[in-house]
Structure 1
């Protein structure tokens, strides 16, 4: 018995992903555009059948308004069968489409929890004693109080020269990176720019195998990832890539729930080797809140 082979890769939940990633204004615009296209297509079919070309715009208007629930104010006296079938189709769509749109709004407001964290577009390089760091900047964009905000970081690599290699030398690898205590915020402030540091490779440990993977940046734009087993040398100009993923996890006591969000940086393209402009933060005693300047640079 022959079986049909599944097509891969599968891309599941594309509609849900689209709803999750777009704003309410964009979803509303999409809803209007889809109804406009549908009304235009139906009107075009009707014009081709009836040959009433001069009524094309009227048909578009009547069908468009009917899709939004308005009572029909048009008819086809010479072709009742066609008219009734189009009317039945429009009535079905006008019943389903508002329900689907309302469902998307409910999904956005009451089910989906996202964008509690906003990561700065770039990270910057800094020095502390004999160590170098990447500064990861973020702020909490939610008005809800967050608790136990904890960051973890991973580095993902791809070595193009290993594309045809054996399974022992897989071209794609992911490693956890070491973070310090400043990556934990028990009770963070909302709308206040903050940062934590990601330690880079320390030359003082050059002769010691790395217990934790470490990233080393070179002046020529190449990158070396030091691991316990080997050193992975990456050159973006030959098709390699290196990415840092930052995952923020925390609790939302007001909702009795947890959240997890992710940010990513291309290395070295998203690194600024000069310090980024500092955010100017001050506490307003009278208003009992923080004020921040220089948001345009975030």
Structure 2
């Protein structure tokens, strides 16, 4: 019995000694593992942050390359990809800038000959009734085409001003309902639409740009929608809204996200229409310039809503 007790005591002593000796070894192993994991995880975390910065548009983002292991090679490939992306985006931006300058220059150069052509076609159209049938038809066609080209050039020049950041607001305190009614009256649309335009809603706006927005929205509804076309002006505490709705077939769901894109036309058959494909894009740019927005939603037909803040930001 004594020998068994002694053996058990010796075994316990050996176990305690082993535990005492193992504790520092385990601690060292854990610390070494943590340091190794940190050495691996830090570059991964750096790569994650760099990828997020690159995704946010900070194309100058690069990673430090340390050593020659797989992580270092991965950082090097990231830097090469980021540099190639930065060069490509820079080239695209330069091409876009050159395209915008070209459009602006050409539009400007076309103004003078178009003014002369318009004067000639006005004379031709005025005398079209005194010409024979074919000549009269040709005169009216030429006049319509010159007018269409003039509108296109005007729209291109307007878009180029927005792109160049040269569009400015000439604000005047105005009664919005009265201004919208004047736009309808000037174009002879009063009898073609139903308007709920309460007076007494005053706001500092650019009269010309508001007229452009309303004319584009109502003209679009009359051309491509179906009656009744309704205008509804409402004022809230912080903003006012002007909704223009028609009761036509509406816009397909896949078209809605694109209606404010330049030159976009939902129907390929309308590629040769009287519009430039820029009207809604210009209308929205004018809304944004005022600190507001222009949106579209499906309704009985299509509902375009102009939102303007009651106070300037």
- TM-score normalised to structure 2 length: 0.27
Which protein has the bigger helix share?
2
Bigger strand share: 1
Query: Structure 1 length as normaliser, TM-score?
Result: 0.28
Larger radius of gyration: 2
